[in-house]
A = this chain, B = another copy of it.
Amino acid sequence: MTVRIAVAGASGYAGGELLRLLLGHPDIEIGALTANSSAGDKLFKHQPHLLPLADRELLETSVETLKGHDVVFLALPHGHSAELAEQLGESENRTVVIDCGADHRLTSADDWTRWYGGAYAGSWPYGLPELPGQRDRLVGARRVAVPGCYPTVSSLALAPAVDLIEDEVVIVAVSGTSGAGKSLKPNLLGSEVMGSASAYGVGGAHRHTPEITQNLSAAAGRPIKVSFTPVLAPMSRGILATCTASLKDTGAVREAYEKAYANEPFVHLLPEGFWPTTNAVLGSNAVQLQVTVDEDLGRLVVVAAVDNLAKGTAGAAVQCMNLALGLPETTGLSTVGVAP
């Protein structure tokens, strides 16, 4: 089986990571690579690490360049996927469209309006198969909304415990800078980032908050309130999320995680006594997590590590493509990180 794919947004970080993974996928033929302002450039200029594709020319992002593929990956800024996806749908009903952006993640139109604004494009099957009930929706899907990087790691860190905890969770997630993309902002310059940590989107202002809330509330079957603070750390990749919540019951916590992830190929509860590090998952599709109970407070503490570009974005996209196409879910993906 050869699957012909296209990537819209191939000059960015998410697009580059998609191509890195797809180059190692045995069933893939890489078709159109598109960009906006970089259209016309050779890919090497933007992705010098992708030598096998160095001479590929970036095309304009449009329905014309993207149609005629089996799978189209959209790695675009939020608000740019919906219209393109709709146009693609009209001409290419059989095409699998996998949106790495935010446009189709939220199931509530009100949430979309509040957090992103503009027209609501509806929601697509949510590409986090490890959440209860999601894998079935992804098998054979023609449309997939890839989760945000923070929601991925936070949701996997807390979902197994939703029946054991009170209704409010506190998440502080330390992230590398690649999550911000290649946008040319002063605070993302190397000189500013190196040697420094900083918080942003504080006070419930980050757009991933409603997505985490949506996931945990769905898993719990009741509203879960989410206090979420992202912190930028001096590293390119990786998210380490510290997630805590008051426990209604401090027993059986570890068992809940063991049960939830016993058969998951990519989510690994570490042996007791070990705590995750982001470099252990760098470049891989693995989530490493550890769980404990602060007995003095009766409080759950879960720490989880993910590569924001891999399992946090592009790896999840490939995993969902596999499910959508009926390929083995782990094809082309790895749990082996690049360390040190």
Q: In the complex, identify which listed stretch (A82-90, A94-102, A123-131, A169-177) lies at the interface while the others stay far away.
A: A169-177
Closest to A16 in B: B339
Residue interface mask A137-175, B partner, CB < 8 A = 1: 000000000000000000000000000000010101010
Bound complex: CA A335 to CA B282 (Å): 17
Check if B336 sits within 8 Å of A51, measured CB to CB: yes
Interface of A is mostly: mixed
The 5 closest A-B pairs by CB, nearest first: A190-B193, A49-B337, A196-B279, A172-B172, A203-B292
- Closest Cβ of chain B to A132, distance in Å, is 23
**Are the CB atoms of B225 and A242 closer together than 8 Å?**
no
Give 1 or 0 for each of A213-227: 1 = CB within 8 Å of chain B CB: 000000000000111
Q: With contacts A47-B339, A192-B277, A204-B294 known, what are 10 further pairs, Cβ within 8 A? A: A16-B339, A49-B337, A172-B172, A188-B189, A191-B340, A198-B305, A199-B276, A231-B240, A231-B242, A233-B234
> Is the pair A189, B190 in contact by a Cβ cutoff of 8 Å?
yes
| Cα distance, A265 to B192, chains bound together (Å) | 25
Among A45, A174, A282, chain B packs the most CB atoms within 10 A around the CB of A174
Q: Are B174 and A336 in contact (CB under 8 A)?
A: no
A293 to B278, CA, bound (A): 30
Instruction: Report the minimal beta-carbon distance from A323 to chain B, rounded to whole angstroms.
Output: 21
A192 contacts B340, C-beta separation under 8 Å: yes
B277 engages A172 (CB within 8 Å) = no
CB of A79 to closest CB in B, whole Å: 22
- Tell me the bound Cα distance from A176 to B203 in angstroms: 24
**1/0 per residue A251-291: CB within 8 Å of B?**
00000000000000000101100111111111110101010
Given the known interface contacts A49-B336, A190-B194, A229-B244, the answer about A202 and B24 at a Cβ–Cβ threshold of 8 Å is no
User: Which listed residue, B50, B196, B240, touches A199 by the CB 8 Å rule?
Assistant: B240
A16-B339, A204-B295, A336-B20 are contacts. A194–B177 as well, Cβ < 8 Å? yes
- Contact indicator per residue, chain A 289-321, by CB within 8 Å of chain B (1) or not (0): 010111111010101010000000000000000
